[in-house]
Amino acid sequence: MTSDLRSSEWYAGDDRNSFIHRAWMRRGVPDSAFDGRPQIAIANTASDLTPCNAHLNEVAQSVKNGIYEAGGIPLELPVVSLGETQVRPTAMLWRNMAAMATEEMLRANPIDGVVLLGGCDKTIPSLLMAASSVDLPAVVVPGGPMMTGHFRGEALGCGTDVWRLSEEVRAGTLSQAEFTRSESSMIRSKGHCNTMGTASTMALVAEALGTVMPGLAGTPASDARLLAGAHDTGRLAVQMVAEDRRPSTFLTRASFHNAIVALAAIGGSTNAVVHLLAVAGRLGIELTVDDFDRIGGQVPLLVNLQPAGRYLMDDLQRAGGFLAVLREVRDLLDPAALTITGRPLVDYLDDALIWDQEVITPRSSPLQARAGIRVLRGTLAPGGAIIKPAAASPRLLAHRGRAVVFDSIEDFHARIDDPELDIDEDSVMVLRGCGPKGYPGMPEVSNMPLPKKLLARGVRDMIRICDGRMSGTAYGTVVLHVTPEAADGGPLALVRTGDWITLDVHARRLDLDVPAEELAVRAPSRATVDGFANPRRGWERLYVDHVLQADRGADLDFLVGSSGSAVSRESH
């Protein structure tokens, strides 16, 4: 084996350790496998308990074929998989664990490069965090969205219509039986959510970063072109090893600039903020939450997909795909940003045309002129909070209302439908104890369901404020990622029902209208202090002790930065 390959540190030579490494891998592998052929891992998040990723074994086979064709040796490596709909208490609690475990396995094994197979919300972020830290040649293959299902003749948006239809049941405008019937219609095929939720967002954002073969992200899971793209990605992984094209060689601040522009143009999930901050932190790239407002705040919304619009992911593919969106905002992109091919992202935009202007609107007639994430600061969020105007009600973007406070999600569920609850459509719903430490894990609960008595009166949106997250498929005037969180000493812990809160998105303000001298003598809510994470052992203990706040990506403090791929000691 040639000495310029990392795997030669295991396989080259005639000593006892080389013998052991080679001999135990000879299970149908030819001699040529150890003679200068790059060893390419396929980090596969396929799992029956991650239903959105269950088809990735089929995708992995196409990747293997491409690696073999290009002269490499494919090695499938199952890694931690997180099913957004299945894992309790929240998949976000385990994102950092999945990233850490994948990083360690990539570093510990005799591999020269890696293909990252992800789909469901946390899988692509965790894989990118791991690859950025270990810094081996790495490329992403997104698993793709499911095809559109229909109910009563209407297209169903996976996730978004769960929130919408469940509220209609509570409002009395849809029967429980009909709601249950819609369940079997929503998930039509393999793949992740077909709305512009977190899974779709992170696939597209990963391409905007330059880590996916241009044009592949957004390809539906059941589309044969996904397998063809996976095959080509396998071939590319071998080339990347030959040219030593690692994350640190092409992921730059310019890459993250383009990812933020893309996030705004597609009306993407607010969860992308914490994921991109975490990936940047692994690379040592200075990225702050304010960059999302500065770069993306003036970007137009061009993609008419749920939850900010009408259509779904297979419509986006039909209408021209992600590259057609990027072509419309080409002047806002940084042309210096490279991709895994070694060429700039902007090189792939010339032939990307829009074929359906209802789905992808031209720059000259956007759905919204300025739709990027807004970062709010003020006495209620000194470290920042975010809001997604594309999914909010314009009439509520400047509002002053009386707080109705819930100390936990359990407190919320216990009281929200109480007919005696003192709340009206002008009230501001406040939910705390849901941040990284406080839950723990920062769950997707910020888009609180509205009180049943207000739904019955036709109310469909209210201002909601929380230190947690919300699903990328969700909608509404929701202020989230409030920092510092209540459990970490943030002023959110001091809010009392009846306090006045002012939201002014245009001015980027979120203020608790209580005199500073009164706040200074208030004690934090005992429920927030006593009820927040009291972990017993294991990962949860480690997480609560070391997790950073949302404005730093909610990574663990000791995982920020890159450790490289070197392993200094032998195993025998």
Backbone angles phi, psi at 218, to 5 degrees: 95, -10
Predicted pLDDT of residue 486: 96
Q: What whole-number percentage of the chain has pLDDT above 90? A: 85
Tell me the C-alpha distance between 55 and 221, whole Å.
8
Q: How many CB atoms lie within 10 A of CB 153?
A: 5
Total number of residues shown for the chain: 572
Tell me the C-alpha distance between 53 and 49, whole Å.
9
CATH-assigned architecture of domain 374-534: 3-Layer(bba) Sandwich (3.50)
Say which residues have a Cβ less than 8 Å from residue 526's Cβ, sequence separation at least 6. Answer: none
Predicted pLDDT of residue 188: 85
Q: Quick: pLDDT tens for 403-442.
A: 999 999 999 999 999 999 999 999 999 999 999 999 999 9
Instruction: Determine the average pLDDT of the residues in 208-229.
Output: 97
- Asked if pLDDT for residue 533 goes beyond 60, the answer is no
DSSP H/E element including 385: strand 381-387
Cα separations in angstroms, 544 against 121, 442, 484, 536: 22, 11, 14, 11
Tell me the C-alpha distance between 52 and 169, whole Å.
26
Instruction: Determine the average pLDDT of the residues in 286-295.
Output: 97
Buried b (16+ CB within 10 A) or exposed e, 202-237: bbbbbbbbbbbbbbbbbbbbbbeebbebbbbbbbbb
pLDDT band at 1 (very low <50, low <70, confident <90, very high): very low
Predicted pLDDT of residue 182: 87
- Asked if pLDDT for residue 534 goes beyond 80, the answer is no
Q: DSSP 3-state helix, strand, coil percentages of the chain (rounded to 5)?
A: 40, 15, 45
Q: Quick: pLDDT tens for 450-505.
A: 999 999 999 999 999 999 999 988 889 999 999 999 999 999 999 999 999 999 99
CB contact at 8 A, 449 and 166: yes
Cα separations in angstroms, 99 against 45, 58, 132, 135: 12, 23, 10, 13
Say which residues have a Cβ less than 8 Å from residue 537's Cβ, sequence separation at least 6. Answer: none
DSSP H/E element including 496: none
Q: What is the CA radius of gyration of the chain?
A: 24
- The helix/strand/coil state of 344 is strand
Task: Report pTM.
Answer: 0.95
Looking at every residue in the chain, the average pLDDT score rounds to 94
How many H-runs (helices) and E-runs (strands) does the chain carry? 20, 14
pLDDT band at 565 (very low <50, low <70, confident <90, very high): very high
Query: What are residue 376's DSSP bridge partners?
Result: 385
Task: Measure the CA angle with vertex 426, ends 425 and 432; round to 5°.
Answer: 90
- Asked if pLDDT for residue 371 goes beyond 90, the answer is no
Tell me the C-alpha distance between 43 and 247, whole Å.
16
- Asked if pLDDT for residue 41 goes beyond 60, the answer is yes
Of 226, 246, 230, nearest to 68 by C-alpha is: 230
- Asked if pLDDT for residue 2 goes beyond 90, the answer is no
Domain coordinates in residue numbering, the chain: 38-148+188-348, 158-185, 374-534
Tell me the C-alpha distance between 260 and 54, whole Å.
29
CB contact at 8 A, 550 and 436: yes
According to DSSP, the β-strands at 463-466 and 478-483 are parallel
Backbone angles phi, psi at 100, to 5 degrees: -65, -45
Instruction: Determine the average pLDDT of the residues in 275-292.
Output: 97
Predicted pLDDT of residue 425: 97
What tokens does 128 get? 């990118």
User: If 0-12 CB within 10 Å is exposed, 13-18 middle and 19+ buried, where does residue 460 land?
Assistant: middle
Ranges 186-190, 336-340, 460-464, 482-486: which has the least confidence = 186-190
Q: Quick: pLDDT tens for 74-100.
A: 999 999 999 999 999 999 999 999 999
Q: How many CB atoms lie within 10 A of CB 278?
A: 26
Ranges 154-168, 207-221, 380-394: which has the least confidence = 154-168
Maximal CA-CA distance, the chain: 80
Q: Which has the higher per-residue pLDDT, 321 or 473?
A: 321
What tokens does 572 get? 């025998």
- Asked if pLDDT for residue 9 goes beyond 80, the answer is yes
CB contact at 8 A, 250 and 263: no
Q: Which has the higher per-residue pLDDT, 371 or 503?
A: 503
